[in-house]
Every structure is written in structure tokens, then in C-alpha cells.
Amino acid sequence: MSINGLQVIELIKEINKVIDENKSFLTELDAAIGDGDHGLNMSKGFSAVIEKLKDDPGHNIGDTLKKVGMALVSNVGGASGPLYGTAFMKAAGEVNGKSEIDINDYVKMLNAALAGIKMRGKAELEDKTMIDAIEPALSELKKALGEGLNPVSALEESRNKAYKGVEHTKDIIARKGRASYLGERSIGHQDAGATSSALILETIYEYVKTLK
Ligand code: ADP
Ligand code: MG
């Protein structure tokens, strides 16, 4: 099972839709322990992404994802813009020149994306950031594929772990980003960036599922 460049673009459009639908929710989450702009930031960023992909023929998935990353970096003011931007650019680097990608490419892409986020933001697991959704999702994806699960089921398990990670952000103290200024008072609140990451991973799963 593999997906082509035009399908990647279609998937990015789905992500834009989901981000837009969850704009107020993400903003509310960020308002509780941050500055209440995460939904706005993400929606503004992905609108710019869609604009940038308008004439993309989908021949080179690396090139497409590089444009996604660049649009996010240059159109999102918050911390999440450079972080998601780096993630997409690092993922792009894994598939440069490819017109089709499969689940093994995706593992490499998610791996590179996570490494990029960590490098850029200097955060680790349990710091109450997007990493708390992405890292467990990546570990589960590798584990599930290693156990012989098909790509769609592996993506489903991985998505479940992302949401478990999001839930867990309620129990921990923020150590990075604006929420870290609150210290212990950040406990009880779910991290906005972890939530947007889980939404993106869920959209990837839902999209790939329809291709079965
Ligand atoms: P800002 O915090 O600048 O207002 P956003 O509200 O768009 O930016 O994004 C906030 C989210 O970014 C947080 O919920 C968290 O998940 C994520 N984040 C913040 N700092 C870091 C970091 N150093 N590493 C990883 N993720 C981070
Ligand atoms: Mg914010």
C-alpha cells in the first residue's frame, strides 16, 4: 500500500479542514494555560499552506512537504509554527524526489519530524508539549508494524497512543513553552499542541483508511 503526491496534497487539505473545525477548541485549551492563540495560529498556518500548494502537481512529495513546512514557519507567529514547520521540512527530507510513499517511508518521516521538533524546541517527553502525543504514536507505530499489523491497523493503534499521550498531558507540569510559566498550575489542563498533533495523526489514519 502506498500513496501518491496528489493523495498527499488531498490529505494536507483534510488536515486543514480538521484544524479549522477544531480552531476554537485548540484556542480554548491554549487560553487555559497559554495565551489562547493555538487554534488561530494553526488555522492561519494551514490556510497559507493550502494557498502555497495551489499549483503543486504532486510529482515530488519531498518538495510538497517542504512547501508545507516553509508556509508554517513563515505564517505562524507562535512557537508552534517553527516547530511544526521544522517537522514537515524534516519529513520532506526523507522523501525527496519520491512520487509515492509507503508506511516504511512514513515511519522515517515521523521519526525525522519528531527529531526536528526536539532539536528546535529542546523539549523531551513529559514536558507537556506536542512531543507527548507524537513520541508515543511513533513508538506504537514501529511496535505494531514490527508485530506484523497491516499499515491501517498500525496507524490506528498509533493514533490511539497519541490520544493517550494527550490525556496524560493533564497530569503533568509544563516545562516548555508559555504554559511552563504557570508551573504546578498547569496540572489538570490538556496541552493544546499535543492535541493538534493528535488531530493531525488521526487525520492521517482516517485518510489512509479510506484508501483500503
Ligand atoms: P505560543 O506558545 O507561542 O503561543 P502556540 O500557542 O501556537 O504558540 O503553541 C503552543 C504549543 O506549542 C504548546 O501547547 C506546546 O505543545 C507546543 N510547544 C511550545 N514550546 C514547545 C517546545 N519547546 N517544544 C515542543 N513543543 C512546544
Ligand atoms: Mg499560544
Q: Where are the domains of the chain?
A: 2-209
Q: Is 35 in the pocket of ligand 1 (CB under 6 A)?
A: yes
Residue 209 Cα to ligand 1 midpoint, Å, equals 29
CA quadruple 40, 61, 52, 73: dihedral sign: positive
Q: Which of 40, 129, 131 to mutate to test the pocket of ligand 1 (most atoms within 8 A of CB)?
A: 129
For residue 4, the surrounding DSSP H or E stretch is strand 2-4
Residue 54 has pLDDT above 80, yes or no: yes
- Per-residue pLDDT band for 10 (boundaries 50, 70, 90) equals very high
For residue 170, which of 128, 127, 125 has the smallest C-alpha distance?
128
Residue 169 has pLDDT above 90, yes or no: yes
Task: Determine the pLDDT at residue 1.
Answer: 84
Q: What is the CA radius of gyration of the chain?
A: 16
For residue 25, which of 206, 190, 173, 212 has the smallest C-alpha distance?
190
Q: Is 33 in the pocket of ligand 1 (CB under 6 A)?
A: no
At position 94, the amino acid (one-letter code) is E
List the beta bridge partners of residue 4: 100
Is pTM, for the whole model, over 0.85? yes
Helix axis angle, 23-33 to 38-52, nearest 10°: 140
What is the CATH architecture assignment of 2-209?
Alpha Horseshoe (1.25)
In this prediction, residues 122-133 reach a mean pLDDT of 98
Residue 30 Cα to ligand 2 midpoint, Å, equals 6
Residues ≥6 apart with Cβ < 8 Å to 31: none
In this prediction, residues 150-178 reach a mean pLDDT of 97
From the CA of 81, the nearest ligand is: 1
